[in-house]
């Protein structure tokens, strides 16, 4: 069972700031982590390896510091890790990201299953997984909450839908995205950390992938973020203080002023 | 304070802290209430290789020493010293085997211990033999091909939960303590059973039981070292393990100090946070100083053990005695400055105060250890005269 896990390094906090000039996240000075949803993908990949043998390859497209996320993936059980990093990859939308990942998967060659988190914490689109399967021309199942069985080149999985669960069978190779209900990710092990520190993580660039530069990064993106903003608060709550009687009086006054009573 | 830990030691410490905060913190109050053995946490610790820390590399361990073990115990105890006890006792139950076992014995047991697949325990205390270890009555009579054990061990930590027990028993009753031997006994050996589980004041999630031996036969190859060495091995073991109790005490005290600082920053009295009141500052300042002094002594003793020094009785006793007294004082003071809230069971301090008490009692009561230190002083003086 050869498993590829796609993961992304994201800011480890919800308190991110947006650069008003470029409309991108200000990543400086913020601790980065593996996208939480991707940790479930990695854990499931490692569990598949433990059940069926084979290996887990963690893959990430990102700036050079994304190597940190891949080292962490090795400490959590990934056998190999590959970083897709090139200035030309910067500014990619989901399509250009999926194209780059698909090119790397094709370069890797044989695989049985690709696992992604359901979405990222920063982009929140949930599109890279399905687009990746499209480009690789393999089946896709989203929101997988349980892998029931893998046998004879087929996998049966449970997927979360609004009213319950669906059970789906798909031939391998397949791309799936997983939800957090699928497992409880393990903590790193001391031996894993030691291994991760010395792990060799190759960096694949545009020439390594042999891709068309106009199809990756900002140049290859069909969508462009024009503006990122916090929604304006149109109305605000008001808290009355003091004695209860006074509070009731204030409230009634306000309601009367507004013509509501 | 900077203790100049190696990169590896820092990694061990920070991973132990992560396990404590992510996995132990959410369940510590419940486990204290239910007194259930924390099997799920033992699995987390095993998965994270924490049981490998104190096992030599040849037997699938990471080859760490006393200091590495202390770092793990300290970090776990900072959050829950009951769970730290369940973990640390495995080192106590393994050290005699590691230091004096035969190659076959090590090969047979240590890889499973390192992987956390089997827990261990050490058994010397008996109903009639506490501080007076020489009063043990459990016998291991030599028979064809092995030994037959009879007797009862008391207050054995991990009793009933562990798979592998190092038991001190008399192979030669006539010779008294010089007739005691260390023998490995596996759970499920016929004639080996467990008595009642004790209800304790603190470290309630840890299991403490009687071990009962009734004509329990163990094969010859389970004897560690030579017959008659049991008492000596036990004393050497405690010399090496006592800094670990010190580390447990430092962890408890550190945890209590942090809770006290958080609370006194938030609690407003007389129009200001408690931490602004000089009387509270005086107590907090003293607590912090005591904790750091205890830590410095524990690390220094652990490093001395790891240096291979022949005689560490005094130093390891000092570390255990000082740190455990600090833990008792700091947790008591922490409850005091947090007032009514500190006394409540919904707040973590009263558990820390209950948990701290045992560190002054087990692995040699502090009074007995001060005696031991004084005896060393007298011996040294006598040698120079």
Q: Does B45 touch chain A (CB under 8 A)?
A: no
Q: Which residues of B touch A77 (CB under 8 A)?
A: none
Q: Does B57 touch chain A (CB under 8 A)?
A: no
- At A42, is the pLDDT very low, low, confident or very high (cuts 50, 70, 90)? very high
As a 3-state breakdown, chain A gives helix, strand, coil percent values, each rounded to 5, of 35, 25, 40
Q: For this structure, is B363 an active site residue?
A: yes
| Mean of pLDDT over chain B | 97
Domain check: are B290 and B349 in the same one? yes
- At A14, is the pLDDT very low, low, confident or very high (cuts 50, 70, 90)? low
Yes or no, beta carbons of A191 and B49 under 8 Å apart:
yes
Domain check: are B24 and B109 in the same one? yes
Q: Which residues of A touch B18 (CB under 8 A)?
A: 187
Q: Which residues of B touch A43 (CB under 8 A)?
A: none
- What span, in angstroms and rounded, lies between the C-alpha atoms of B370 and B375? 9
Q: How many CB pairs under 8 A join A and B?
A: 31
- CATH assignment at residue A163: 3.40.50.620
| Domain containing residue B367 | 231-384
Residue at A249 is within a domain: no
Domain check: are B315 and B259 in the same one? yes
Yes or no, beta carbons of A190 and B22 under 8 Å apart:
no
Domain check: are B276 and B220 in the same one? no
- At B56, is the pLDDT very low, low, confident or very high (cuts 50, 70, 90)? very high
- What residue of B is the nearest CA neighbor of A187? B48
Condensed to tens digits (0 to 9), the pLDDT of residues A165-218 reads: 999 999 999 999 999 999 999 999 999 999 999 999 999 999 999 998 899 998
- CATH assignment at residue B289: 1.20.140.10
Domain check: are B13 and B158 in the same one? no
Yes or no, beta carbons of B47 and A190 under 8 Å apart:
no
- What span, in angstroms and rounded, lies between the C-alpha atoms of B326 and B33? 25
- CATH assignment at residue B213: 2.40.110.10
Condensed to tens digits (0 to 9), the pLDDT of residues A96-120 reads: 999 999 999 999 988 999 999 998 8
Residue at B37 is within a domain: yes
Q: Which residues of B touch A189 (CB under 8 A)?
A: 47-49
Number of structural domains chain B divides into: 3
Q: How many CB atoms lie within 10 A of CB B272?
A: 10
Residue at A228 is within a domain: no
Residue where a domain terminates, one of B228, B259, B281: B228
Query: B188 near B206, Cβ under 8 Å?
Result: no
Question: Which residue has tokens 């900072």?
Answer: B78
Residue at B56 is within a domain: yes
Residue at B2 is within a domain: no
Across B158-287, the runs of DSSP E, i.e. the strands, are 164-170, 180-186, 192-197, 208-219, 223-224, 268-269, 272-273
Yes or no, beta carbons of A191 and B52 under 8 Å apart:
yes
Cα separation values, B83 from B89, B295, B346, B360, Å: 10, 20, 19, 18
Residue where a domain terminates, one of B228, B253, B280: B228
Q: Which residues of A touch B22 (CB under 8 A)?
A: 187
Domain check: are B92 and B130 in the same one? no
Report whether pLDDT(A17) > 90: no
| Domain containing residue A34 | 2-215
Residue at A92 is within a domain: yes
The alpha carbon of residue A198 is apart from the nearest alpha carbon of chain B, in Å, by 13
Mutate to test the interface with B, among A187, A191, A195 (most CBs of B within 10 A): A187
Residue at A234 is within a domain: no
Q: Which residues of A touch B53 (CB under 8 A)?
A: 190
Yes or no, beta carbons of A190 and B44 under 8 Å apart:
no
The alpha carbon of residue A177 is apart from the nearest alpha carbon of chain B, in Å, by 25
Q: Which residues of B touch A12 (CB under 8 A)?
A: none
Domain check: are B165 and B292 in the same one? no
- What residue of A is the nearest CA neighbor of B9? A190
Q: Which of A186, A187, A190 sits opposite B11 (nearest CB)?
A: A190
Number of structural domains chain A divides into: 1
Q: Which of B8, B22, B62 sits opposite A187 (nearest CB)?
A: B22
Share of chain A above pLDDT 70, in %: 97
Yes or no, beta carbons of B15 and A186 under 8 Å apart:
no
**In this predicted model, which residue has the larger pLDDT, A260 or B165?**
B165
Yes or no, beta carbons of A187 and B47 under 8 Å apart:
yes
- What span, in angstroms and rounded, lies between the C-alpha atoms of B71 and B22? 17
Q: Which of B12, B44, B62 sits opposite A187 (nearest CB)?
A: B44
- CATH assignment at residue B15: 1.10.540.10
Q: Which residues of B touch A194 (CB under 8 A)?
A: 8, 11
Domain check: are B142 and B110 in the same one? no
- The candidate with the shortest Cα–Cα distance to B48, out of A41, A53, A42, A193, is A193
Domain check: are B31 and B158 in the same one? no
- What residue of A is the nearest CA neighbor of B10? A190
**ipTM value:** 0.87
Residue at B1 is within a domain: no
Domain check: are B114 and B125 in the same one? no
Yes or no, beta carbons of A187 and B18 under 8 Å apart:
yes
Q: Torsions phi, psi of B277, nearest 5?
A: -80, 130
Q: Does B44 touch chain A (CB under 8 A)?
A: yes
Report whether pLDDT(A13) > 80: no
Condensed to tens digits (0 to 9), the pLDDT of residues A128-170 reads: 999 999 999 999 999 999 999 999 999 999 999 988 999 999 9
The alpha carbon of residue A207 is apart from the nearest alpha carbon of chain B, in Å, by 37
Mutate to test the interface with A, among B7, B11, B18, B111 (most CBs of A within 10 A): B11
- At B359, is the pLDDT very low, low, confident or very high (cuts 50, 70, 90)? very high
Domain check: are B246 and B202 in the same one? no
Residue at A230 is within a domain: no
- The candidate with the shortest Cα–Cα distance to A178, out of A21, A46, A53, is A46
Catalytic residue among B258, B292, B363, B376: B363
Residue where a domain terminates, one of B92, B118, B144: B118
Mutate to test the interface with A, among B8, B19, B25, B48 (most CBs of A within 10 A): B48
- The candidate with the shortest Cα–Cα distance to A36, out of A7, A3, A60, is A7
The alpha carbon of residue B334 is apart from the nearest alpha carbon of chain A, in Å, by 32
Looking at residue A15, its pLDDT comes to 65
**What is the full DSSP assignment across B4-48?**
---HHHHHHHHHHHHHIIIIITTTHHHHHHH----HHHHHHHHHT
Q: Which of residues 10-29 of B touch A (CB under 8 A)?
A: 11-12, 15, 18-19, 22-23
Condensed to tens digits (0 to 9), the pLDDT of residues B267-287 reads: 999 999 999 999 999 999 999
- What span, in angstroms and rounded, lies between the C-alpha atoms of B319 and A44? 45
Looking at residue A95, its pLDDT comes to 93
Report whether pLDDT(A236) > 80: no
Domain check: are B112 and B135 in the same one? no
């Amino acid at each position: 069972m050869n498993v590829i896990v796609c993961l992304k390094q994201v800011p480890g906090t919800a308190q991110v700031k947006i650069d008003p000039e470029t409309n991108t996240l200000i990543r400086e000075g913020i601790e980065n982590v593996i996208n939480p949803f991707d940790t479930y993908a990695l854990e499931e990949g490692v569990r598949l390896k433990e059940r069926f043998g084979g290996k887990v390859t963690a893959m990430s497209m990102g700036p050079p510091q994304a190597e940190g996320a891949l080292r962490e993936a090795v400490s959590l059980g990934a056998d190999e890790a590959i970083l897709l990093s090139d200035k030309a990859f910067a500014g990619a939308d989901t399509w250009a990201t999926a194209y780059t990942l698909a090119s790397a998967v094709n370069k890797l060659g044989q695989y049985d299953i690709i696992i992604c988190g359901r979405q990222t914490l920063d982009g929140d689109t949930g599109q890279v997984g399905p687009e990746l399967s499209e480009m690789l021309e393999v089946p896709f199942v989203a929101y997988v909450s349980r892998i029931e069985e893998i046998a004879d080149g087929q996998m049966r999985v449970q997927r979360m839908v609004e009213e319950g669960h669906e059970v789906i069978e798909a031939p391998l190779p397949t791309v799936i995205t997983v939800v957090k209900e699928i497992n409880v990710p393990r903590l790193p092990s001391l031996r894993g950390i030691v291994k991760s520190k010395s792990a060799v993580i190759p960096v694949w660039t545009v020439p390594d992938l042999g891709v068309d530069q106009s199809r990756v990064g900002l140049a290859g993106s069909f969508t462009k973020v024009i503006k990122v903003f916090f929604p304006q608060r149109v109305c605000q709550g008001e808290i009355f203080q003091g004695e209860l009687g006074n509070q009731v009086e204030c409230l009634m006054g306000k309601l009367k002023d507004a013509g509501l009573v | 304070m900077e203790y100049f830990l190696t990169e590896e030691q820092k990694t061990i410490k920070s991973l132990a802290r992560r396990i404590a905060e992510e996995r132990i913190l959410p369940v510590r109050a419940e486990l204290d209430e239910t007194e259930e053995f924390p099997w799920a946490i033992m699995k987390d610790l095993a998965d994270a290789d924490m049981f490998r820390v104190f096992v030599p590399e040849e037997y699938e361990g990471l080859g760490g020493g006393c200091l590495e073990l202390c770092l793990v115990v300290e970090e776990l105890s900072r959050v829950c010293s009951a769970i730290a006890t369940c973990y640390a006792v495995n080192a106590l139950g393994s050290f005699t085997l590691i230091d004096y076992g035969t190659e076959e014995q090590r090969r047979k047991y240590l890889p499973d211990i390192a992987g956390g697949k089997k827990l261990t325990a050490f058994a010397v205390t008996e109903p009639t033999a506490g501080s007076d270890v020489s009063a043990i009555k459990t016998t291991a009579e030599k028979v064809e091909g092995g030994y037959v054990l009879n007797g009862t061990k008391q207050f054995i930590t991990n009793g009933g939960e562990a798979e592998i027990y190092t038991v001190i028993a008399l192979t030669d009753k006539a010779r008294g303590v010089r007739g005691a031997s260390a023998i490995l006994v596996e759970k499920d050996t016929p004639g080996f059973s467990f008595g009642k589980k004790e209800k304790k004041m603190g470290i309630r999630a840890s299991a403490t039981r009687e071990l009962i031996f009734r004509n329990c036969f163990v094969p010859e190859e389970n004897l560690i070292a030579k017959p008659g060495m049991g008492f000596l091995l036990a004393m050497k073991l405690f010399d090496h393990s006592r800094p670990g109790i010190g580390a447990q005490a430092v962890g408890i005290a550190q945890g209590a100090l942090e809770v006290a600082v958080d609370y006194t920053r938030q609690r407003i009295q007389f129009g200001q946070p408690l931490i602004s009141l000089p009387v509270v500052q005086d107590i907090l300042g003293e607590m912090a100083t005591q904790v750091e002094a205890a830590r410095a002594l524990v690390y220094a003793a652990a490093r001395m053990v790891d240096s291979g020094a022949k005689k560490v009785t005094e130093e390891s006793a000092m570390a255990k005695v000082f740190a455990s007294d600090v833990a008792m004082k700091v947790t008591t003071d922490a409850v005091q400055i947090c007032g009514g809230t500190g006394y409540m069971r919904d707040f973590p301090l009263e558990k820390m105060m209950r948990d701290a008490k045992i560190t002054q009692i087990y692995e040699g009561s502090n009074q007995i250890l001060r005696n031991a230190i004084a005896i060393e002083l007298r011996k040294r003086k006598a040698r120079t005269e």
